[in-house]
Every structure is written in structure tokens, then in C-alpha cells.
Amino acid sequence: MDKQLLKTAQRGLVITDVALRDSRTMLGDEFEPKYQALPGEIQLMQRTLRSETMELNNNGDDRKIFRVFVKLGVRWVREVDDRQQADESEVQAVIEATFLAEYAMTDAIEQPALDEFAMHNAPWHIWPYWREYVASQSDRLNLPKVTLPMQCLPTSRDKSGKQTTT
């Protein structure tokens, strides 16, 4: 993370909106949450999909907008060996969504600073909306109450397959 690039972007962006763009919710065919305990573990996903800059021209009101799309997910899976990924038959419940964070650009900002902001700041702005979405969807699905952490750090796998936080 380049903190100088982040500061440059932070000075020139003002958040204006967070919106849900798409979502997917699923219960496994053999799983009835009203009558069965959730087995296994909860897995979290957070991934910045893309960002884009838009120029809006509306009757002399010229504005530049920066938009960031972040995909988030939570799934409940049966216990699996750490060396393997859960296949679909082991997934008991899924809640996924893509959120859009939109920012007014008050200054010209170079692309590397926008990229750094999209990866490290936009997910923080979206996260409270995601936490509320998971809570309400869980209730609708009869899933037990789940409280997500204050923030999910993006993770990746190193060459040996071990999960690391970025």
C-alpha cells in the first residue's frame, strides 16, 4: 500500500453515494436452516472488481465522478481440509453482493492514486452497507444471526497455497 498515493486521492475525492448493484443469495438443497444448525465455518470474500472515471455534462454543470465496484461474500461451508477449496456440494448458504461507491472528484488525480484508493479506501466505505445487508438477508433466510467483523482485509494465496492478508 502506497500511503502517499492514498493521501493524494483522499484529498481529491468526496464520497457521494453507496449503492447495491447486484446480489445472490442461496441455500444448499439439503440444508434447512430453520431446523438444522449451521455446520462448519464461515468464509468471507472481498474483491475490488473495477473502477472508472466519468465526466458528467448537465446544462453547464460539469463534474467528474470516480466509481468503484466491490464484490463481497459470506458463505457457510462444511468443514474442509485447509489444502482444498470447498466445492459447491459443501456450501450450505451464500450471500454475495456487488456494491458501488461513488465519489465526486474535486481535483485532478493520477490513475495510480485512484487505483490505490479503489483497493484500500472504497471497501472501507462500502463495508457498513455490506454488514447490514448480510444481517438482513440472514434473517430472511432463517440463518442464525451473524456479526461480521468491523472490516475484512483482502486476502490472497501465496505460491504454497497458504492464505495471506494483503
Mean pLDDT of the chain: 84
pLDDT one-digit tens code per residue, 107-135: 999 999 999 999 999 999 999 999 999 99
Cβ pair 155, 165 in contact under 8 A: yes
Q: Helix or strand or coil: residue 107?
A: coil
Query: What confidence tier does 164 reach under pLDDT thresholds 50, 70, 90?
Result: very low
User: Which CATH number goes with the domain that contains 58?
Assistant: 3.10.420.10
- Cα angle value 59/64/66 (rounded, 5°): 140
**155 occurs within a structural domain:** no
Does a structural domain hold residue 154? no
pLDDT at 124: 93
pTM over 0.85: no
Is the predicted pLDDT of residue 67 greater than 90, yes or no?
yes
Domain count, the chain: 1
Cell 465526486, residue? 104
The residues pairing with 75 across neighbouring beta strands, listed in sequence order, are 43, 94
**Domain that residue 49 falls in:** 3-142
Q: What pLDDT, in 10s, does the model give residues 4-14?
A: 998 999 999 99
